[in-house]
Structure 1
Amino acid sequence: MNKKVNKPRLAAYLIVAAAFTTLGAIAAVKQDTKAAAGAAAGNSGAALYAQSLNDLSGKPQSLAQWKGKPLLVNFWASWCAPCVQEMPELSALAAKDGGKRFHVIGIGIDSPSNLVQFTQKTKVAYPLYVGGMGATDLARGLGNTAGGLPYTVLIGADGKVIKTYLGKLKFDQLRADLARL
């Protein structure tokens, strides 16, 4: 009797899960389209450069120090599985380039203690800043209207947003975009 009762429930759960997956995919496609349109419209990184965020040692850092340099800004959190999964490859990419053609920075939407604990376990080859929950507004200003993570923004040396990436990075595409800098 229990098997008959569980099968309809399982089917209902699967239908609901499939519906949410479909809605999530639609939202991601729409967000990517909006982000691409925003980048094409020439959104500026001015709001980013106006910020001062603490580094992981608690020292305030002006993000204006990145003005005039091609910049890849990764918004992430230690509790975000896709963020954590992409960090080793993003770190390797940053270390390989060494700031010759572009720079990478990470802005953590998390508590300072969580970010510090994370970096004690995982080495990161680029500067990390503590943005806290307030950094979600900064990410929105750079095109992340969905508020999802990870969210990465490619900004040209002229301060204009070139491209945005919502979700886990596709590194082949990112490398191709970086090669065009």
Structure 2
Amino acid sequence: MKHVFVSLALSTFFATSGAHAEIIGANAPRAVTEDEMKASLGEVDLVGANGAPLDLRALMANGRPTLVSLWAYWCPNCLAEMKGFKSIAAACPDRWNIVFVSARASDYPKDLAKFKTYGLPWKIFRVGDSTKTDVAKAKSARAFYGATADGGVVTPLHYLIGASGRVDAIVNGRMNFAEPQRLAAFCAD
């Protein structure tokens, strides 16, 4: 996968109008549609390190914008974003709901260990085990991961959800959150 640099400021993500989110970044042939990816946010089951579920639907409805970031310890672009996430954590950690999710549930222990080394105020989750026994949950998880035509995932993958709960952008690949305009977009009132 090429290193992808998304040159649009986050504020432009939220200027998107119409029924569809703007998919930005690496173009990967998908096995799922954009609508399936967006719908998966309301259907996927996420669990944390202690097995407690995260109610992503309620989080997205709490009136703050939400960033859901699929992340992996083995992903160079994910690791490169950590400097930017540290900047957000220092400047405005409570302005957004920020949720990290293992890009592959099987990698969760390694993702969790690596993620903890960054000392960020947010948690990392994984897709729940219901995907192993429930066909509908497995389909939702596949859409949530943005499954590619060859069965892979694009990392990082970001869902930017506005305060209204609407998906405003899906970003494939690395964003430099430390750039002043992106940090300002995350910290603006």
Please tell me the TM-score bracket, short chain as reference. Answer: 0.5 to 0.7
- Out of 43, 54, 64, the position equivalent to 1:61 is 54
TM-score by length of 2: 0.60
Q: Does 1:178 align with 2:173?
A: no
Q: Is the contact made by 2:93 and 2:121 (CA closer than 8 Å) also made in structure 1?
A: no
Q: Is the contact made by 2:101 and 2:125 (CA closer than 8 Å) also made in structure 1?
A: yes
Please state whether the residue corresponding to 1:129 is helix, strand or coil.
strand
Q: Which residue of the partner structure matches residue 93 of structure 2?
A: 98
Q: Which runs of 5+ in 1 are unaligned?
A: 1-20
Q: Is the contact made by 1:95 and 1:126 (CA closer than 8 Å) also made in structure 2?
A: no
In 1, Cα distance between the equivalents of 2:154 and 2:69?
Answer: 12
Give the ranges of 4+ consecutive aligned residues of structure 1 lying more than 6 Å apart after TM superposition. none
In 2, Cα distance between the equivalents of 1:128 and 1:107?
Answer: 5
Whichever structure has more helix as a proportion of its residues is 1
Q: Does 1:51 align with 2:57?
A: no
TM-score by length of 1: 0.63
In 2, Cα distance between the equivalents of 1:41 and 1:136?
Answer: 25
- Out of 42, 50, 53, the position equivalent to 2:19 is 42
In 1, Cα distance between the equivalents of 2:72 and 2:17?
Answer: 27
In 1, Cα distance between the equivalents of 2:41 and 2:159?
Answer: 11
Please state whether the residue corresponding to 1:74 is helix, strand or coil.
strand
Please state whether the residue corresponding to 2:154 is helix, strand or coil.
coil
Q: Which residue of the partner structure matches residue 12 of structure 1?
A: none
Q: Is the contact made by 1:94 and 1:103 (CA closer than 8 Å) also made in structure 2?
A: no
Q: Is the contact made by 2:160 and 2:167 (CA closer than 8 Å) also made in structure 1?
A: yes
Q: Is the contact made by 2:88 and 2:186 (CA closer than 8 Å) also made in structure 1?
A: no
Q: Is the contact made by 2:45 and 2:127 (CA closer than 8 Å) also made in structure 1?
A: no
Q: Which residue of the partner structure matches residue 67 of structure 2?
A: 72
Q: Is the contact made by 2:103 and 2:155 (CA closer than 8 Å) also made in structure 1?
A: no
Q: Which residue of the partner structure matches residue 34 of structure 2?
A: none
Q: Which residue of the partner structure matches residue 171 of structure 2?
A: 165
In 2, Cα distance between the equivalents of 1:154 and 1:94?
Answer: 17
Q: Is the contact made by 1:51 and 1:62 (CA closer than 8 Å) also made in structure 2?
A: no
In 1, Cα distance between the equivalents of 2:71 and 2:99?
Answer: 11
Please state whether the residue corresponding to 1:84 is helix, strand or coil.
helix
Report the alpha carbon displacement of residue 109 of structure 1 after superposing the two structures with TM.
1.3
Write the letter of the residue equivalent to 2:98. V
Q: Does 1:151 align with 2:157?
A: yes
Please state whether the residue corresponding to 2:146 is helix, strand or coil.
helix
- Percent of aligned pairs with the same amino acid: 22
CA 1:87–1:56: 2 relative to 1, 3 Å: farther
In 2, Cα distance between the equivalents of 1:150 and 1:125?
Answer: 19
Considering Cα pairs closer than 8 Å and 6+ residues apart, tell me whether 1 or 2 has the greater RCO: 2
Q: Is the contact made by 1:72 and 1:154 (CA closer than 8 Å) also made in structure 2?
A: yes
